[in-house]
Amino acid sequence: MTWPIDELKTAAIVFVVTIFQVSVLSSITLFGGSANLVLITLVAVALLRGSIFGAAAGFFAGILIDTATLSTLGVTALLLTLAGYWTGRYAETTGRDRAHAPLVAVAVITLLYAVGELVLNYMIGEDVSPAAAFHALPPTMLWNVLLAVPVYALCRRLLGERTGERAREVQFFG
């Protein structure tokens, strides 16, 4: 039985990555965009541990980000919870055992996260610029996809593969 070792390991990974993201990575832009290591790590965790685990990890990461950046509490948490859940569902169905799953999941989640961020910030009355968001999207997508495989491999090494029942295959993507 891995409980609560898995949870503690994941919490530690998410905590370190989130602190690193808000303090350091967000200020490093290359070709107009920066890597979102929290999102990539969340995708890796959700692919390895499933939807519920992914959603909980996303919620935890989001609350940390909202607290550290003193932004509206719950906004990033909502987006990352949904991102973790969707990735987990993908892993439990179509994505399982597929080598390209981390790449597909990171690419799709990066796009959906950018759109979700735009919509949610617009809904809460923030000044949103679709042009600015989509201008930063291609480089962010590039960095995220480039980092997807190494981050996934590192997370798999730290967390290990999950053993359990195979879910019924449902066609989402790939």
Partner 1 sequence: MIVALVVVCLALITVYFRESDGGRLHGIQGVGATVLRPFEIGATHVAQPFRDVYGYFSDLVHAKSRAANLEKQLNALRQSQTSGLEAQHELGIIRRELHYKAPPDVQHLQRVNTAVIAQPVNPFDQSIVISAGANDGVRAGNPVLDPNGYLVGTISLAYSQTALVTLLTDESSAVGAKDPQTAAQGVVKDASGGSDSLILERVSKAEKIREGDQIITSGFKVRPDLSSLYPKGIPIGWVRSVQQFDTDVYKRVQVAPYANFSKLESVMVVLTPKGMRGLP
At what angle are helices 101-123 and 37-49 packed, to 10 degrees? Answer: 120
**Site for partner 1 contains 75 (CB under 8 A):** yes
Please give the residues from 131 up to 170 whose contact with partner 1 meets the rule CB under 8 A: 132-133, 135-136
From 1, 3, 97, 129, residue interacting with partner 1 (rule: CB under 8 A): 129
Of 75, 80, 87, 168, which Cα lies nearest the Cα of 123? 75
Region from 3-11, 65-73, 99-107, 151-159 binding partner 1, contact rule CB under 8 A: 65-73
Site residues (CB under 8 A) for partner 1, limited to 2-61: 15, 19-24, 26-29, 51-52, 55-56, 59
Copy the structure tokens of residue 44: 């890796």
Binding site for partner 1 (CB under 8 A): 15, 19-24, 26-29, 51-52, 55-56, 59, 62, 64-78, 81-82, 85, 117-118, 121, 124, 126-129, 132-133, 135-136
